[in-house]
Amino acid sequence: MREYMPGSHRRFLSLFSDLPNLRDLVALSRGNKHHQELWEAYRQATRSLTGLRTKHLSIPNNQEELYGTGATLLILFLKQARDKTN
């Protein structure tokens, strides 16, 4: 999918690909007195992102089959992105 993005977007995302997984970093804070607060903030962020992706799914659901630039069925791609968020 990145090959279809503008170069500046690809470079921005590549900065994150070299970093540790955010969920793993949050989990490392266990034992810290602020861990529960950090974990709840992380969970709220993932719930919000899941909600956004669920609303996004209503767009192709109301139309005939739509395909992305990589010939992927759009509804399947969006469902996969949402499910990976959880």
DSSP 8-state assignment for residue 21: P
Is 56 annotated as a binding-site member? yes
3-14 CB burial, b ≥16 within 10 A, e <16: eeeeeeeeeeee
Cα separation, 43 vs 75, in Å, equals 25
How many CA atoms are closer than 13 Å to the CA of 59, on its beta-carbon side? 14
* Known binding residues: 56
* Known binding residues for heme b: 56
